[in-house]
């Protein structure tokens, strides 16, 4: 579509202040398949620069209207955003705008690594790393085309035994040094992943005869059928290591969320955090989950300590400074 030769060999000499990292030698195919985020969402700067290369006056005017945020441009940008248009969609729509490769390198961001929480304990699975990943997919309304997320779509196409590029990074989640300290975990959907790892760690310690603190797990989803690893977690409950609290928001007329379950179990939560040296962890979407959980925890502290809101906030602030209130959120 762009008129490039996929096999052409490129030698990249980055200028001072270059926006993107790029290998110094690669093919055009490698540039578009491994480096540039061609299926990422374009920002307004992309449209502004693209307008400079539009040879068709009508297309140039449309691109400029997006940048200027005129009534016409705002409507066009809204339509593109609603359809989750990516860089390739925009280049296809504005066929007269064909920036050379050296400009595309500056106009598009590079692909970013996708991070997933490890969903298994090395004590239980010493030679494996397990993940809990939901396939990102959606249908473009205007074309009825099914699209998949960049990374999850890639993983879906891989066959067992395939080798992929990955790296392990340290987590923000640090377990108590003493296994006897309680842990309280809250997660929604695949936010359950790190808490499965933590629970497995505690289960294995208990099986080895180590005294472990009680694990409280608050899990939320829309429906019971979305309860991930249900049988496994029910088994851990029978072993006496885990106490589950589930919230399925669409299973009843009144929506019930994890934060409601935390308030319901407020006495036990406060006892374990304030009197037993427990650690509290949250994993979920950065949009609203951490704030909703924080509000619930504040309510718990106010009720348990019979204190004002500012005093409850001070308690939670101290827990965070002590490393006993940890949030792992994604956007």
Pairing of strands 183-188, 215-221: parallel
The CATH number of 183-330, from 3.40.50.720, 3.40.50.80, 3.30.1330.30, 3.40.50.300, is: 3.40.50.80
Q: State the architecture of 18-107 in CATH terms.
A: Up-down Bundle (1.20)
Where in the chain do CATH 3.40.50.80 domains reside? 183-330
How do the pLDDT tens digits run along the chain, 331 residues long? 999 999 999 999 988 877 788 899 999 999 999 999 999 999 989 999 999 999 999 999 999 999 998 999 999 999 898 888 999 999 999 999 999 999 999 999 999 989 899 999 999 999 999 999 999 999 988 889 999 999 999 999 999 999 998 999 988 788 999 999 999 999 888 889 999 999 999 999 999 999 999 999 999 999 999 999 999 999 999 999 999 999 999 999 899 999 999 999 999 999 999 999 999 999 877 777 889 999 999 999 999 999 999 999 999 999 999 999 998 877 6
Q: Report which of 231, 205, 8, 225 is spatially closest to residue 102, judged by C-alpha positions.
A: 8
Starting from the edge strand earliest in sequence, which strands make up the sheet with 215-221, in order?
A: 242-248, 215-221, 183-188, 279-285, 325-330
**Residue 270, token pair as written in the block:** 């406060």
CB 148 within 8 A of CB 156: yes
- Range(s) of the chain covered by CATH 1.20.990.10: 18-107
Q: Are 193 and 132 in contact (CB under 8 A)?
A: yes
Single pTM value for the model:
0.86
CB 190 within 8 A of CB 215: no
């Amino acid at each position: 579509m762009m008129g490039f030769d996929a096999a052409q060999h490129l030698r990249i000499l980055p200028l001072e202040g270059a926006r993107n990292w790029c290998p110094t030698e690669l093919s055009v195919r490698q540039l578009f398949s491994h480096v540039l985020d061609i299926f990422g969402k374009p920002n307004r700067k992309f449209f502004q620069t693209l307008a400079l290369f539009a040879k068709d006056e009508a297309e140039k005017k449309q691109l400029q209207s997006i940048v200027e945020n005129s009534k016409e441009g705002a409507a066009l940008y809204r339509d593109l955003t609603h359809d989750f248009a990516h860089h390739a969609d925009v280049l296809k729509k504005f066929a007269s705008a064909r920036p050379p490769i050296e400009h595309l390198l500056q106009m598009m961001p590079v692909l970013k690594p996708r991070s997933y929480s490890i969903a298994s304990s090395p004590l239980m699975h010493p030679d494996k790393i397990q993940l809990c990943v939901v396939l990102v997919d959606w249908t473009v309304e205007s074309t009825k085309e099914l699209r998949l997320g960049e990374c999850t779509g890639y993983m879906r196409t891989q066959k067992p035994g395939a080798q992929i590029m990955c790296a392990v990074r340290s987590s923000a989640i640090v377990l108590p040094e003493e296994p006897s300290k309680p842990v309280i975990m809250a997660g929604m959907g695949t936010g359950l992943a790190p808490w499965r790892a933590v629970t497995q760690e505690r289960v294995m310690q208990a099986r080895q005869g180590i005294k472990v603190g009680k694990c409280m797990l608050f899990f939320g989803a829309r429906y019971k059928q979305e309860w991930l690893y249900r049988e496994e977690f029910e088994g851990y409950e029978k072993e006496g290591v885990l106490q589950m609290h589930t919230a399925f928001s669409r299973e009843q007329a009144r929506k019930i969320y994890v934060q409601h379950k935390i308030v319901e179990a407020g006495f036990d939560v406060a006892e374990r955090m304030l009197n037993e040296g427990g650690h509290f962890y949250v994993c979920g979407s950065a949009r609203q989950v951490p704030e909703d959980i924080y509000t619930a925890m504040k309510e718990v502290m106010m009720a348990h300590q019979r204190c004002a809101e500012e005093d409850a906030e001070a308690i939670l602030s101290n827990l965070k400074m002590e490393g006993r209130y940890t949030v792992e959120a994604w956007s």
